[in-house]
Structure formats: structure tokens, C-alpha cells
Amino acid sequence: MDPAFLAVQALSGLSSASSLFITACGLTIVFGVTRIVNFAHGSLYMIGAYTAATLVPRLLELSFGPATFWAGILASALIVGLIGVLIEVLLLRRIYGAPELFQLLATFGVVLVVQDLVVQVFGPQDILGPRAPGLRAPVEILGRRFPSYELVLIAAGPVVLGLVWLLLRKTRFGVLVRAATQDRDMVASLGVNQAMLFTGTLFLGAFLAGLGGALQIPRVSANTGMDLSIIAEAFVVTVVGGMGSVPGAFLAALIIGQLQAFGILIFPKSTLVVVFLLMAVVLAVRPYGFFGRAEVIGGTHAVGIASHKRMPRGTLAAWIAIAALACLPLVGDAYLLKVATEILIFALFAFSLQLLIGVGGLVSFGHAAFFGLGAYGAALAVKWYGASMEAALPLGLCLAALGAALIGAFVVRLSGIYLAMMTLAAAQILYAVAFQWVEVTGGDNGIVGVWPSGWASGPVPYYLLTLAVTVVAVFLLRRIIDAPFGYALRAARDSEARAEAIGLKVRQHRWLAFVISGAAAGLAGGIYAFSRGSVDPSLLGISTSVDALTMLLLGGIQTVTGPLVGAGVLHFLRDLIMPLTPFWRLLLGLSIIAMVLIFPRGLVGTIRYWREERA
């Protein structure tokens, strides 16, 4: 291949890398200090782009020359920074005491709210921003034309890196940020005003997200899909670089930029999978990314099911609930039964996640992988082997368990946020396979015609089947949680070192937990496939994983019944709100935020807490 082409391709990669770095850098700083996995970072990026695309043309009309363009970009970034402060003061500050995953859930609520607000504020049409004055014309590089603005972007990355480095090394604020990144509790003990520090950090992070978005306007039109398209990549960059490490993020962005630029030459359909493959490979070799440090001993996610007295008359209540559910077909119409079937499926799905998170302390961001494997396993068995439902469901379960065994083998070597991100990578790789391997999986059309056997078809029989399967599976999982195996997992969650010291094989136990949890999720996925009659890649997508997490967290990770209640409430809410208004994202987001604020331990957890307080 001729060198000019390679040079231009490399430069394209560099400019993408620069944009990605500026955004991801904010995410990594925020995580380093606050330990919040900020899903709303992509939304801030999107707001930055929309603000700049609207603001900069107005400023240019004042004709003060090219400087106004850059002033407009900075002003937009500042505005986004202030929005970040707003989010911190109004929302995040109130839940620092809650389990960390809860903060993630709150930021996810913000994502939903912003999606609707952006359309309301800026209108439905994509907004193409102006080009930078003086940088419209291309430059010649080895006889090929290359956009001059991209050269500016290439320079912007290192400039931001330098400025952030100066800020972190040479200012008091920077010293505090670095100190907090290393040991938050110690910083607090030394009398540092944490509220100010966190607000400042959120401002900086949001400012960088806004800057990243605003700098995009000469290349990309501001559009409503920007938030989700950047957030996954920004996560990858921060994780590969090492959470909290700014230079690591820079290096990771560089590598990803080049991989994408050259990846599309070798395998044009690789754009989806290449970043997550990189993350999986890097984490397999270096468990803390390039420059990340092992997390402080004592674990940051050590919240979950504790040993407690059994509820008086708990068994009786369970039997009454099951009996009531079994009687539902007597009163409910077909649609209600369908909703109830879905709630049961999601309850099982969320409950399987409980075994990992609540019991094992293993936060999985990619639990959709197993749900999707179960669904695809069943659907593929029907499509390619003409299997009946009775044969397809166990096949789906086996495929999910196998996938969990394989993924688990890589994942259990990691811990904390890296573990979570490895599961996300696994799910995304599977998503890409389902999406791109059109011949087998049908691509994004999915597989249709996955209907249950005659005896189970129709809303009532299928509902009863789902109820039976869910009850049995939940009962078995419950037994596992209360068995010595469950106690061993809890011990490893609370203190890995002590668990090992008394002879527990921590990794082996965790791996087994993955297999069991994956199998249960796969069973849920299989039933789901037959209830809908089709599967598609979104079952493996991030939103499905987030759904499971949301249900679990809403219900409460410290309780056994939490995920079951959470699944019911979330699905019920969504079903109630969606038909009522076109602004269902806004309302659902606000409901999630409200529930996070009112029930910081989850619904069941908080209610139990209140009861214990009263007692």
C-alpha cells in the first residue's frame, strides 16, 4: 500500500484518538476521585455538541473574527461544566453514602432525562455546526488532501493532556484530586472539604466532556445518538488506560484510534467489535489496565446480602405469593398475563445477577451476555435443528452456562471495576457477533418464528409455565445462597484475604458462581425468546444489562427478595408510563432518580431498614 495513504489513515486515527481522549479523560478523573461510574458522561458530551452547534453560529454572526469560534467552544464547555456541578449538587451529593452502584443507577436516570430534554430544547433535527474559520480548506500531505481542522484536533489532545497534567501536579486542587484518587477516606480524615473537592471534580469532568463534544461540531452534526455512541468507547479508554490514570487514557485512546482507522481496511465490519476485543485482551494480560493500580484492600463493592434472621412466617408469605400469582389467570386479561410473564422472566434474570453481585460481590455489567446466549441458544436450536421448545430451552441454558464458564474463567482473575468492565466487554463481543454474523444469527433482524410448543402456547399456559420455572429456579438459587457455597462466596466478598487464609478457593468458587448465575440467566433468556417469538441482538446489548442492574438495585442488593420486587416495579412502571406520554424517557428517568433518592438501600432494603429503626 502506498505510504501517503497509510500516513493519511494514521492521521485520521490520531484525530479520532484525540477527540476520544478529551472526553474519556474527564470520565477517568471523575471516577478516580468519586468512584462513580458516570453513565451520564456521554450525555454531557452530547449537550456540549448541541450547545456549541447552536451557540457558535450566533457568535460568529457578531463578526469579531475567528477568535469567537474558539470562545464559543470554550463557553459551551463551561456551560456543560456548570450542568455537571448542578448534577453533583442536586443529585450525586445526596447519595455518596449509598452503595456505589446506586450512583451508577442515578447517572443512568440522568441519561434518560437528557435524551428527552435535548429533543425538546434543541429540536428534532440534527444540527450541523459551522466549520472553524480559517480551517475550511484542506492541507496537502504527501499529495493527498487532509482536513486542516483534524490537525488542530490532533494537537488538542496533547494540549489537554498537558493542561490537565499541570492542573493535577502544580495546583492545590490537583494535589487534592490525586490524594483522593489514592485514598478518599484519608483525604476526608485530614479535614479536606470533600463537598468542594467533589463539586470541583465534577465540574472538571463535565467541562472536559463538553469540550470533547463542542470540538466535534466541525466534523459531526449534533444528534441524539451521540451520548450512547461515545460512552461505551469512553469506558473502554478509561479501563484500558487504568481507571483514574490520565496518561493511561491518552495511550489507550491512541491505540483505539489507530485500530479503528486500519481495522476498517482489513475487515470493514470490525468497527463494533475492535474496541471491546482490545479491552478484553488488555485486561486478560494486565488486570488493572496500562497504568491502573490495584484497588485498596477491603473492596469497594463489599455491600450485599448479609446473614440475618429469617423473616418470621417468611415461608408462609412466599407460598401465599405463589398461590396468588398462580390464580392471576382467573382475573387478568391476555395483556396483563403477558406483562406478568415478562415480569417473572426479568425477576429470574435479576435474581441470577443477585447471586453474583449481592452474594459474590462480583459486579457484572454484562449480564445480558448470558440472557442473550440463552435466548440465542434456544432460537438457533429451533431455527437450525427444528428443535421443539422442550429441547431448545435446556440447550439455551447449556449454551449460557458454557459461555459463563468461558467468560468466568477470564473474569475471576480481576476485581472491582475491571471485573465489571471485562463482563461488559464479553457481552459487547457477543453482541457484535450476533450483529455481524448475519448468515447464522440473522444480524440485527434476529431470528423470528421461535414459538412455544402447542401445549404451552397461549397466554395462560405460557404464564403458568413461566411461573413454575421461575419459582423452581429462584428456590434453587435461594438454596444455593443459604448453602455453605453461598457463605463461602460471602466470605470472599467481605475479605478475600481471610477467605483464602481459611482455605477457600476463592477463584474456583467465583467461577462456579458465574456458571450457576449464567445458567439461570440463560434459562430466563430462553423463556423470554419463546414468549416473544423472536430474538435480536439488543438482548445482548448494554441496555439489557443495565435493565437487570436497575431492577436489582431498585429492589435492593442487600435483600433476597429485592431483585424480584425491583423487576416487578421497573417493568410495571415502564409499562404504565410508556403509553401515557411521548416523554416516557424523561418520566422513567425521573422516577429512577426519585427512587434512588428516597430509597437509598433499594425498595425492599429501605423498607426493612425503616422497620428495624422503628423496632
Partner 1 sequence: MAKTSTIRWLALGAALALGAPLGAPAAQAQQPPIKLGELNSYAQWAAFTVPYRNGWQLAVEEINAKGGVLGRKLEIVSRDDGATTGSATRVADELVTREGVSLLFGSFLSNVGVAMADYANQKKIVYIAAEPLTDAVTMAQGNRYTYRIRPNNFMQVGMLVDQAKASGAKRWAIVAPNYEYGQSAAAVFKRLIQERVPGAQIVAEQYPALGKIEAGATASAIEQAKPDGIFNVLFGPDLTQFVREGNTRGLFEDATVLSLLTGEPEWLLPLKDEVPEGWTVTGYPWDEITEPKHKAFVDAYRAKYNDTPRLGSLLGYMVVTMIRDTIERAGSVESEALIKALEDAKFDTVAGPVTMRGLDNQSTMGAWVGKLVLKGASGGMTDWTYKDGASFMPTEAEVKAVRKD
Residues in 100-119 at the binding interface with partner 1, rule: CB under 8 A = 115-116, 119
Nearest distance from C-beta of residue 563 to partner 1, angstroms: 12
Q: State yes or no: residue 343 binds partner 1 (CB under 8 A).
A: no
Hey, which residues between 556 and 615 contact partner 1 (CB under 8 A)?
A: 561, 565, 568-569, 572-573, 575-582, 584-585, 587, 591, 603-604, 607
Q: State yes or no: residue 229 binds partner 1 (CB under 8 A).
A: yes
Q: State yes or no: residue 144 binds partner 1 (CB under 8 A).
A: yes
In 3D space, the residue among 335, 535, 509, 502 whose CA is nearest the CA of residue 408 turns out to be: 509
Compute the distance between CA of residue 347 and CA of residue 563 in angstroms, rounded to an integer. Answer: 6
Compute the distance between CA of residue 203 and CA of residue 174 in angstroms, rounded to an integer. Answer: 13
Compute the distance between CA of residue 559 and CA of residue 452 in angstroms, rounded to an integer. Answer: 34
Hey, which residues between 426 and 455 contact partner 1 (CB under 8 A)?
A: 435-436, 438, 443-446, 448-449, 451
Which is it for the CA torsion 420, 281, 404, 540, positive or negative? positive
Q: State yes or no: residue 18 binds partner 1 (CB under 8 A).
A: no
Of the ranges 6-14, 26-34, 64-72, 166-174, which one interacts with partner 1 (CB under 8 A)?
Answer: 6-14
Q: State yes or no: residue 345 binds partner 1 (CB under 8 A).
A: no
Nearer to partner 1, 57 or 200 (CB): 57
Compute the distance between CA of residue 599 and CA of residue 606 in angstroms, rounded to an integer. Answer: 6
Compute the distance between CA of residue 384 and CA of residue 85 in angstroms, rounded to an integer. Answer: 54
For partner 1 (CB under 8 A), the number of binding residues is 84
In 3D space, the residue among 60, 73, 63 whose CA is nearest the CA of residue 22 turns out to be: 73
And the C-alpha cell for 320? 401465599
Q: State yes or no: residue 5 binds partner 1 (CB under 8 A).
A: yes
Nearest distance from C-beta of residue 442 to partner 1, angstroms: 9
Nearest distance from C-beta of residue 93 to partner 1, angstroms: 25
Residue showing cell 444540527 = 127
List % helix, strand, coil for the chain (3-state, nearest 5): 75, 0, 20
Of the ranges 85-93, 217-225, 284-292, 501-509, which one interacts with partner 1 (CB under 8 A)?
Answer: 217-225
One residue of 127, 151, 391, 398 binding partner 1 per CB under 8 A: 127
Q: Report phi then psi at 141, rounded to 5.
A: -125, 110
CB-count exposure of residue 552 (10 Å: 0-12, 13-18, 19+): buried
Hey, which residues between 511 and 550 contact partner 1 (CB under 8 A)?
A: 532-536, 538-539
Residue showing cell 470533600 = 194
In DSSP terms, which residues pair with 141 in a beta bridge?
Answer: 144
Compute the distance between CA of residue 242 and CA of residue 287 in angstroms, rounded to an integer. Answer: 9
Nearest distance from C-beta of residue 385 to partner 1, angstroms: 20
Nearest distance from C-beta of residue 252 to partner 1, angstroms: 17
Hey, which residues between 272 and 291 contact partner 1 (CB under 8 A)?
A: 272
Hey, which residues between 148 and 207 contact partner 1 (CB under 8 A)?
A: 150
Cα 325 off chain centre by: 32
Nearer to partner 1, 291 or 599 (CB): 599
Hey, which residues between 476 and 505 contact partner 1 (CB under 8 A)?
A: none
Compute the distance between CA of residue 608 and CA of residue 613 in angstroms, rounded to an integer. Answer: 9
Nearer to partner 1, 193 or 581 (CB): 581
Nearer to partner 1, 26 or 605 (CB): 605
Of the ranges 29-37, 84-92, 221-229, 351-359, which one interacts with partner 1 (CB under 8 A)?
Answer: 221-229
Nearest distance from C-beta of residue 265 to partner 1, angstroms: 6
In 3D space, the residue among 295, 468, 457 whose CA is nearest the CA of residue 388 turns out to be: 457
Hey, which residues between 238 and 277 contact partner 1 (CB under 8 A)?
A: 260-261, 264-265, 268-269, 271-272
Q: State yes or no: residue 460 binds partner 1 (CB under 8 A).
A: no
Residue 120 CB-half CA count within 13 A: 10
Nearest distance from C-beta of residue 136 to partner 1, angstroms: 8
One residue of 18, 28, 34, 223 binding partner 1 per CB under 8 A: 223
Of the ranges 5-13, 82-90, 279-287, 379-387, which one interacts with partner 1 (CB under 8 A)?
Answer: 5-13
Does residue 23 contact residue 45 with C-beta atoms inside 8 Å? yes
Nearer to partner 1, 301 or 571 (CB): 571
Nearest distance from C-beta of residue 408 to partner 1, angstroms: 26
Does residue 374 contact residue 524 with C-beta atoms inside 8 Å? yes
**Residue 92 DSSP label:** G
Nearer to partner 1, 70 or 451 (CB): 451
Does residue 549 contact residue 362 with C-beta atoms inside 8 Å? no
Q: Where are the alpha helices (DSSP H) in 355-415?
A: 368-385, 389-411
Nearer to partner 1, 335 or 475 (CB): 335
Task: Please state, as a whole number, how many other Cβ atoms lie within 10 Å of the Cβ of residue 174.
Answer: 16
Q: Report phi then psi at 124, rounded to 5.
A: -75, -25
